[in-house]
């Protein structure tokens, strides 16, 4: 089209002023057509990009939902496993506690038996010492009473014979 205008302008049919007006009108029409084409192309590109963005946004949202769902399921499974391990651990420690309690009870019985034997031996020794001391005290009292009886029997005789 530009070539056709060039031929028309080179042919000396038109006057300078007409040539100038024609060239300006053609340039203005061409610029207007270019601007309209650019605007239309920009609008088409924007529409295409908007469509593409909406489609990709939906795809992205679905992908994120899927990934979040998978991660959530994985975390829930791990939590379930942790809870199960905790229950197993709790049962294991309960068994260990029962075993430790039984062992402590057995040890207490053994220690209590030893303690009873030691207390019995101590009491036996202490009682034996007390009984020995009591026997000695009884022997001393008997001797004193015998001496008193002898002295009382001898006092009457002594008083009657040697009183003066």
Number of domains in the chain: 1
Query: What's the domain range around 92?
Result: 2-162
* Better-scored residue on pLDDT, 19 or 66: 66
Does residue 14 contact residue 8 with C-beta atoms inside 8 Å? yes
Does residue 62 contact residue 54 with C-beta atoms inside 8 Å? no
pLDDT at 18 over 80: no
Q: Is 85 exposed, middle or buried (0-12, 13-18, 19+ CB in 10 A)?
A: exposed
**pLDDT tens-digit series, residues 104-129:** 999 999 899 899 999 999 999 999 99
pTM of the model: 0.37
């Amino acid at each position: 089209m530009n070539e056709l205008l060039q031929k028309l302008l080179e042919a000396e049919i038109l006057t300078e002023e007409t040539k100038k007006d024609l060239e300006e009108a053609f340039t203005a029409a061409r610029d207007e057509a270019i601007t309209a084409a650019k605007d239309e192309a920009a609008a088409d590109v924007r529409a295409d990009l908007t469509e593409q963005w909406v489609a990709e946004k939906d795809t992205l949202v679905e992908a994120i939902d899927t990934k979040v769902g998978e991660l959530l399921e994985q975390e829930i499974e791990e939590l379930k496993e942790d809870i199960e391990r905790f229950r197993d651990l709790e049962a294991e420690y309960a068994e260990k506690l029962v075993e430790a309690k039984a062992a402590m009870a057995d040890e207490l019985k053994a220690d209590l038996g030893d303690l009873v034997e030691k207390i019995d031996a101590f009491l036996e020794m202490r009682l034996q010492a007390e009984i020995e001391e009591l026997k000695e005290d009884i022997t001393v009292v008997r001797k004193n009473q015998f001496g008193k009886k002898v002295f009382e029997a001898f006092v009457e005789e002594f008083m009657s014979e040697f009183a003066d």
